[in-house]
Amino acid sequence: MLRQTLKIAALAVATLLPALPAAAQQLTGVTDTEIHIATWSPQTGPAAPWGAVARGTGLLFDMVNDEGGIHGRKIVFHSYDDQYNPAKTVAGVKELVEKAPGIFAIASGVGSSSGLAVKDYLMERGIPWVGPAAGSLHWITPPQKALFAIYPLYADEANLLTRHLVEKEGKKKIAILYASDEYGENGHRGALAAMQKLGVKPVVEVAVNQADRDLKSHVLKLKESGADAVLMWVNPTHAVITLKTAAALGFAPQWAASSTLSDAPLMNTISGGLWKNILFASFGELPDADTAEVKKYRDAFPKYAQKGERWGVFFMAGIGFVEPLVEGLRRAGRDLTRESFIKAMESIKDYKGVMGRISFGPNERQGQREIFLARTDDSGVKVTRLTPWTVVD
């Protein structure tokens, strides 16, 4: 079976990172017939909509295997539910890495805090990690030999969103709503930096804890600030609660969302039809785009997707984040080692799949810098693209 599910316990992070014995360090995750690759994602919990990312990755690997695999080897994909809990991320990664045959590489992996919890563990062991599903500066500051970031930086999307609000829509009172974790803080810092460049100060900055479910006090702060626009870096559950609470309080600013909330039909459904006139950043082509790359996977979706799955931004992102990984495996050849794979990844230039253009190099680990802006209409479902692919200065 391609997909393997681990049942893991929520153990304390501090107890899970002991030095490995030499035998365990030598596990490579490669056999004569298989390449073992792993990921984590929130299949349950408040960030569960992002779980579609891992399922999209599974579709890509299924397609690759049906086409003959990689130089005679099939990809064995280990995907598990960490519930957006870094402790569970660490537990699952450690179990996979230290159990024969090991893991050759990590594909994507959802969440800034989750990824940060295992980054050093993976890098110390030289395990390649391609396409973390988060736009964090932590992946490239400082650059790591085995870590290849694809998701554009939250700071870049903050820059483009803020500039649009100020220069195109004339917004003067902008608030920031952000999760109090690495994901939210990355967006928060990026928004503050963008505002400073434009000579604008936020009217209020409101943090949301992951456990919060009653956001009335948060939304009241936004409303009382007089904000005419609100930038959001929160998880889907908090975004929905925010919009529902704002509607009940008669607060209707221009909402501007991170790319993490860019699946418009999904967000409109779970918000009960409130995802209307939302400005958002996008890291990948729209799911209904007529490009050859998108059409290939959209046409394959009915054959490979599990029953009840939906074709959308998050699912397609799971493909886009790891297309370069597959390209790197092909370029590395039959004599596959981590060193040959890293060298192959560094040779990728202007690769175009369902994301923007992606390039790496010996001194470049942020593969994609292109993003664009879009907006939902009054139905909350139809999306209009506002800008071309843009590299933020």
pLDDT digits (tens, 9 = 90+) for 325-338: 999 999 999 999 99
Note the pLDDT tens digit of each residue in 209-238: 988 899 999 999 999 999 999 999 999 999
Q: Which residue has the tokens 């040779």?
A: 347
Work out the end-to-end distance of the chain between its first and last CA atoms, rounded to an integer number of angstroms: 45
pLDDT band at 17 (very low <50, low <70, confident <90, very high): very low
pLDDT at 348: 98
What would the mean pLDDT of 54-82 be, rounded to a whole number?
Answer: 97
Query: Burial, 80: exposed, middle or buried (Cβ in 10 Å; 0-12, 13-18, 19+)?
Result: buried
Distances (CA, A) of 233 to 74, 188, 225, 317, 366: 38, 7, 18, 18, 21
Q: Provide long-range contacts, Cβ within 8 A and 24+ apart, for 217-222.
A: 218/177, 218/242, 218/245, 219/245, 219/246, 219/249, 219/251, 220/249, 222/175, 222/177, 222/246, 222/251, 222/253
What would the mean pLDDT of 306-316 be, rounded to a whole number?
Answer: 94
Q: Catalogue all structural domains in the chain, each as residue range(s) with its CATH number.
A: 3-152+290-362 (3.40.50.2300), 154-282+372-391 (3.40.50.2300)
Backbone angles phi, psi at 174, to 5 degrees: -110, 130
> Cα separation of 329 and 237, whole Å?
36
Note the pLDDT tens digit of each residue in 340-385: 999 999 999 999 999 999 999 999 999 999 999 999 999 999 999 9
Note the pLDDT tens digit of each residue in 269-293: 999 999 999 999 999 999 999 999 9
Task: Look over the chain and give the mean of its residue pLDDT values, rounded to a whole number.
Answer: 92
What would the mean pLDDT of 53-68 be, rounded to a whole number?
Answer: 97
pLDDT at 40: 96
pLDDT at 317: 96
pLDDT band at 55 (very low <50, low <70, confident <90, very high): very high
Query: Is it true that the peptide bond before 86 is cis, omega within 30 degrees of 0?
Result: no
pLDDT at 15: 34
CA torsion angle 119 111 133 281 (round to 10): -140
**Integer-rounded Cα radius of gyration of the chain:** 20
Query: Burial, 250: exposed, middle or buried (Cβ in 10 Å; 0-12, 13-18, 19+)?
Result: exposed
